[in-house]
Amino acid sequence: MIASLALILLAQLLGEILARGAGVPVPGPVIGMGLMFGFLLLRDSRLGLPRILPKPLTDGTLETTARGLLMNLSLMFVPAGVGVVGRLDLLRAQGLKLAIVLVVSTALSLLVTVLVFRAVASRVERRRPDGEA
Amino acid sequence: MHGDFSLWVYLAGTPLLWLTVTLTSYVLADRIAAATGRHPIANPVLITVILVGTVLAVTGTPYPTYFEGAQFVHFLLGPATVVLAMPLYERRATVLRALVPMLAALLAGAATTLAVVIALARLLDIPQPILISLAPKSVTSGVAMGIAEALGGDPTLTAILVILTGIIGAILVTPLMNLLRIRDMRARGFAAGLAAHGIGTARAFQVSETAGTFAGIAMGLNAFLTAILAPLALHLLF
């Protein structure tokens, strides 16, 4: 558990350092996700890394910790969300207009994204029957 | 009475109380969401925010005091983003096969969001500074605030619009996809993550782990693309 958390925090920290250092418009944790992905690739490669790694990182504890965090992703938006309640006055002047923009644009954004994904996927996957539809 | 009051003063200032309120409200909200069969309207983020907001209003607690305790939960957003690598890694073959549709959907989705937001805002006569704060609303909050600030918008307003967009997207996605009869969990998840960032991703993980994986990827990619596209779009149109 602690070894898993340490590894996760280490990935985030390195991601944050890289993001700030390079000035790229990607959040540190997203770069950390890339680093974690790289770690998993290395761990399961044939380099024999598992022998020198702490056991929790190879016996499935890391995966369990990750699943626990992801299952409760909603919880982590609560503190910021509560902050919104206190600042709704900012929306008052343009409230209705903003509500229209948010609902319409979010619906269209979902619609276009999913339709383009399906349209391209069915074209690509017809040529390659191994793709799952 | 005086004793009770000093106990309250003590507790209200410690992280313990507000951390407990946050977690208890979330457990309750999750029970409510489960009781409705995970109905999209019963969004756990929305219910928890209402519950906690009510407690703060009733006790007259200022937000910064609450955040002192709740920051530990807020902090976990970072680690939770890092471990999105796990489902991504486990499904890397599926993800790699869907690379072309993902990139096409990313470009189309990010461009549509910006175009619709800017067009609607102009149509409705929304003032320029608010429009700038609106532009990055589908992107995860840290990046969105950075984009708005760089362009001369109001980062606090952006944060509010981002959270509201997330909740709206998480509520809309399931009924909309069912209406369109789209059963491809990759496409559904990708749309949720692109339009509604982490809150959409949280919803996607409730529906299926494949949807959640694709939502996480879309969230990361859209943060990157919108950061590039938003200044371009605003520049082109003004």
The ipTM (two decimal places) reads 0.87
Are residues B66 and B93 part of one domain?
Answer: no
Are residues B177 and B91 part of one domain?
Answer: yes
For residue A131, name the pLDDT band (cuts at 50, 70, 90): very low
For residue A1, name the pLDDT band (cuts at 50, 70, 90): confident
Tell me which residue range forms the domain holding B156: 85-237
Roughly how many angstroms between the first and final C-alpha of chain B, as a whole number?
Answer: 62
Q: Does residue A51 have a pLDDT over 80?
A: no
**Residue at a domain's end among B75, B100, B132:** B75
Interacting residues of A86 by C-beta distance below 8 A, sequence separation 6+: B56, B63
DSSP-derived secondary structure for A69-123: HHHTGGGGGHHHHHHHHHTTHHHHTTHHHHHHHHHHHHHHHHHHHHHHHHHHHHH
Tokens coding A116: 């383009």
Cβ within 8 Å, pair B89-A132: no
**Residue at a domain's end among B24, B57, B75:** B75
Collect contacts of A93-100 with beta carbons under 8 A, ≥24 apart: A94/B126, A94/B127, A94/B130, A97/B121, A97/B124, A97/B125, A97/B126, A98/B126, A98/B130, A98/B134, A98/B161, A100/B120, A100/B124
Are residues B98 and B62 part of one domain?
Answer: no
Cβ within 8 Å, pair B199-A108: no
Cβ within 8 Å, pair A70-B223: no
Tell me A57's DSSP state: G
As a whole number, mean pLDDT of residues B209-217 equals 92
As a whole number, mean pLDDT of residues A5-13 equals 96
Tokens coding B76: 């976990």
Residue A129: what pLDDT? 52
Cβ within 8 Å, pair B78-A28: yes
Cβ within 8 Å, pair A78-B26: yes
Cβ within 8 Å, pair A106-B172: yes
**Which residues of chain A have a CB within 8 Å of the CB of B148?**
none
As a whole number, mean pLDDT of residues A18-29 equals 81
Residues 192-221 of chain B whose Cβ lies under 8 A from any Cβ of chain A: 192, 194-196, 198-199, 201-203, 205, 212, 216, 218, 220
At A129, the amino acid letter reads P
Are residues B199 and B129 part of one domain?
Answer: yes
Are residues B182 and B141 part of one domain?
Answer: yes
Q: CA of A2 to nearest chain B CA: how many angstroms apart?
A: 13
Are residues B165 and B107 part of one domain?
Answer: yes
Are residues B159 and B97 part of one domain?
Answer: yes
* CB nearest to B143's CB, from A27, A69, A109: A27
Residue A132: what pLDDT? 47
At B57, the amino acid letter reads A
| Residue of chain B minimizing CA distance to A129 | B97
The answer to the question of residue B229 being in a domain is yes
* CB nearest to A80's CB, from B30, B141, B173: B141
Q: Where are the domains of chain A?
A: 1-71, 79-133
Q: Does residue A71 have a pLDDT over 70?
A: yes
Are residues B93 and B63 part of one domain?
Answer: no
Tell me the average pLDDT of chain B. Answer: 89
Give the number of domains in chain B. 2
B130 touches chain A (CB under 8 A): yes
At A131, the amino acid letter reads G
Are residues B153 and B106 part of one domain?
Answer: yes
Q: Does residue B236 have a pLDDT over 90?
A: no
Could you read off the pLDDT of B125-178 as tens digits, one per residue? Answer: 988 888 888 988 888 877 788 888 888 888 888 888 999 999 999 999 999 999
| HEC string for A2-56 | HHHHHHHHHHHHHHHHHHHHHCCCCCHHHHHHHHHHHHHHHHCCCCCHHHCCCHH
* CB nearest to B67's CB, from A34, A79, A84: A79
**Residue at a domain's end among B75, B102, B134:** B75
Residue A14: what pLDDT? 96
Dist. CA A101–CA B54, nearest whole Å: 27
Q: Between residues A42 and A30, which one has the greater pLDDT?
A: A42
For the ranges A20-34, A117-131, B133-147, B190-204, the maximum mean pLDDT occurs at: B190-204
**Which residues of chain A have a CB within 8 Å of the CB of B41?**
none
Are residues B111 and B27 part of one domain?
Answer: no
Cβ within 8 Å, pair A79-B76: no
Are residues B208 and B108 part of one domain?
Answer: yes
Dist. CA B163–CA A12, nearest whole Å: 22
Contact B219, B140 (CB under 8 A): yes
Q: Given CA atoms B109, B112, B118, B120 in this order, what sign does their dihedral have? A: negative
Half-sphere exposure of A123 (CA within 13 A, CB side): 11
Are residues B220 and B164 part of one domain?
Answer: yes
Cβ within 8 Å, pair B196-A107: no
Tell me the average pLDDT of chain A. Answer: 86
* CB nearest to B85's CB, from A40, A100, A130: A40
**E strand or H helix at B149, and its extent?**
helix B141-151
Cβ within 8 Å, pair B83-A41: no
Q: Does residue A75 have a pLDDT over 80?
A: yes
